[in-house]
Chain A
Amino acid sequence: AQSVTQLDSQVPVFEEAPVELRCNYSSSVSVYLFWYVQYPNQGLQLLLKYLSGSTLVESINGFEAEFNKSQTSFHLRKPSVHISDTAEYFCAVRLEGRRALTFGSGTRLQVQP
């Protein structure tokens, strides 16, 4: 069975500070890893994904995530956050051969001025 753990339910941070949102997964087979962002009253939008190759993946708005197989982690980072980054962030995994994504419980990123 696969599961996804997001260790922090809320992360308050000041504007322009760095942030890391943690995600760990448990699976004995190959997985594909995703981060989604959900702004208030909206659906989920893909932020970035790890499929294979380079373990560091980046999004167009400055976020990056690093796949660490030995630690089964896929933490999301941004060196300097903006107020507009305030949202719910979900880590998700998909087993090879499966269609559905399994989501973590989400981390609320609250950026304060």
Chain B
Amino acid sequence: DTAVSQTPKYLVTQMGNDKSIKCEQNLGHDTMYWYKQDSKKFLKIMFSYNNKELIINETVPNRFSPKSPDKAHLNLHINSLELGDSAVYFCASSPPGAMAPLHFGNGTRLTVT
């Protein structure tokens, strides 16, 4: 199936650990994103890559580092996890053009204990 897929779906870890979330899209889109959804459902853009190049880097702690090995993949690595990092992280992709909608993955629920 054509889609944006994220792994893992759930991630429970302890403070101070390092973890990664993977994202892949087979829609042929040029642009990929990471959004964070907090406990109040608020969605905030974190990063965006276009053809493996970083184009959006919002105010996010340096502990978060995106990596795009190719335009179909955008992974998110988080160092030294903190309680406040607990959230649902959504990957998305879009074709070129400001009118193009975003296609979202099903999210990764990260719980830091």
| A interface with B by C-beta (< 8 Å) | 32, 34, 36, 38, 41-46, 49, 51, 88, 90, 94-103, 105-106, 108
Contacts and interface: CB of A to CB of B under 8 A. Distances in A.
A46 to B, nearest CB: 5
A105 B40 contact: yes
B76 interface: no
A100 B45 contact: yes
B47 to A, nearest CB: 9
Given A32-B98, A43-B104, A99 B31 contact: yes
Given A95-B98, A105-B40, 7 more contacts: A43-B90, A46-B103, A88-B41, A94-B98, A99-B48, A99-B56, A106-B41
Contact of B41 (A45, A46, A102, A105): A105
Interface string B29-55: 001010000001111110010100001
Interface majority SS on B: helix, strand, loop or mixed? strand
Interface residues of B, number: 25
A49 B98 contact: no
B2 to A, nearest CB: 14
Interface majority SS on A: helix, strand, loop or mixed? strand
Nearest to B109: A41
Contact of A43 (B4, B42, B101): B4
A105 B41 CA distance: 7
A72 to B, nearest CB: 18
A42 B106 contact: yes
A106 B42 contact: yes
Contacts of A46: 101-103
B4 to A, nearest CB: 7
B105 interface: yes
